Structure 1
Amino acid sequence: MVLEFEIPSAFDPFADAKQSGTKEYVHIRIQQRNGKKSLTTVQGLPKELSYEKILKTLKKDFCCNGNVVQDKELGKVIQLQGDQRKNVQNFLVNQNIVKKDQIKIHGF
């Protein structure tokens, strides 16, 4: 008598993120620096966009400083001074760069 059964494999919580064909999200995060200082990062914008032009407009609209950083794993990331999460979300939606359901806001 032979019993056949499958051994359950380890659960991978990021399996849906690794699949091709899933939605690409734009992640807006805040990082605490020292004291009251904070940094807002925008990751996952479409690669065909000009990050420098977007950064220039964001800096002018929100009266803050920022730069574009090249990361090995994440690609290009926009960094802005201060907590600009809601401002960046509204800007990206109003300019039709991404849809509201494609944006994920992280942070406290």
Structure 2
Amino acid sequence: MVDIEAHIPSAFDPFADVDQDSGGGAGIKDYEKILKDLKKEFCCNGTVVQDKELGKVIQLQGDQRKNVSTFLSRTGIAKKDQIKIHGF
């Protein structure tokens, strides 16, 4: 018989192994990890695009504005007062 030792974390943190950019902003890997979690959480498709004025932007299929706001504040990525929902 083979002994298999598995480490199961008590709380999953999808952003724990992200290296910080030297520029102080979130790197493309950060956006890709956030996008992956958003797509899984809301059962939608999405992508990261580069905008000339806004920089990196996460685009999701459907109207996910309120869902993303809740997700960002719940996970600690952004505080509630830092989030502005476009169109409201």
TM-score range, shorter chain: 0.5 to 0.7
C-alpha RMSD of the superposition: 1.5
- Higher relative helix content: 2
Of the candidates 15, 26, 48, which is equivalent to residue 48 of structure 1? 26
User: Greater relative contact order: 1 or 2 (C-alpha under 8 angstroms, separation 6 or more)?
Assistant: 1
- TM-score, normalised with respect to structure 1: 0.54
Q: What is the correspondence of 1:1-108 to structure 2 with a 5 Å cutoff?
A: 47-48=25-26, 50-107=30-87
Q: What runs of 5+ residues in structure 2 fail to find an aligned partner?
A: 1-23
Q: What runs of 5+ residues in structure 1 fail to find an aligned partner?
A: 1-45
The 1-side partners of 2:71 and 2:52 are apart by 26
Same amino acid, percent of matched pairs = 76
Larger radius of gyration: 1
Equivalenced residues, count:
63
**Residue 47 of structure 1 aligns to which amino acid in structure 2?**
G
Instruction: Look up the SS of the partner of 1:78 in the other structure.
Output: strand
- TM-score, normalised with respect to structure 2: 0.66
Instruction: Look up the SS of the partner of 1:53 in the other structure.
Output: helix
Instruction: Look up the SS of the partner of 1:105 in the other structure.
Output: coil
